[in-house]
Amino acid sequence: MASEARVEITSSLDIVNARRQGRALAQELGFAGSDVTMIAAAISEVARNIVEYARQGEIIFEGVEHGKKRGIKIVARDRGPGIRNIARAMQSGYSTRDNGRGVGLPGAKWLMDEFAIESKPGRGTTVTMKKWANHLGYQNHHRINGD
């Protein structure tokens, strides 16, 4: 079972590729359909940021475990201009791009369970995000049994 994948991002076409890889791994890891959609949307945003601000980079997908939790980890990495003020970049509505809506990063954070940015001006940016699979089978079992 391939639980790690890497997609190079060099053009907007690779955004589709990254989404596809992320979806496939999330499905393989047993994520519910709605979670798969959210994961794919978050991947789109960080991949698009690589294309728009750094021109090129890579996204690494990995299945992760923490105790009984299983999840997906997505690392989007580039050696582009970096982000000077991460707190400001995370604010909804902040954008340095013409017509940018400034919702990509805060949106991705909202869609995922864990989200971190590491960046140095002139050196590049690394966004690390994780989502944990809901144990839907377990929850449903309890709901059906009334507790």
Ligand X SMILES: Nc1ncnc2c1ncn2[C@@H]1O[C@H](COP(=O)(O)OP(=O)(O)OP(=O)(O)O)[C@@H](O)[C@H]1O
Positions touching ligand X (CB under 6 A) are 45, 49-50, 53-54, 78, 80-83, 89, 94-97, 100-106, 125
Considering the complex, what minimum distance in angstroms separates the CB of residue 23 from ligand X? 20
Considering the complex, what minimum distance in angstroms separates the CB of residue 115 from ligand X? 12
Burial of 96-107, coded b for 16+ CB within 10 Å and e otherwise, reads eeeeeebebbbb
- CA dihedral (7, 11, 12, 14) in degrees, to 10, reads -20
Q: Which does 96 bind (CB under 5 to 8 A by kind): Mg ion, ligand X, none?
A: ligand X
Rounded Cα distance between 5 and 20, Å, is 11
List interacting residues with Mg ion (CB under 5 A): 49, 104
Rank residues 38 and 83 by Cβ distance to ligand X and give the closer one: 83
**Token pair 């990495």 in the structure block, residue:** 77
Structure tokens at 87: 């707190």
Rank residues 97 and 141 by Cβ distance to Mg ion and give the closer one: 97
Considering the complex, what minimum distance in angstroms separates the CB of residue 96 from Mg ion? 10
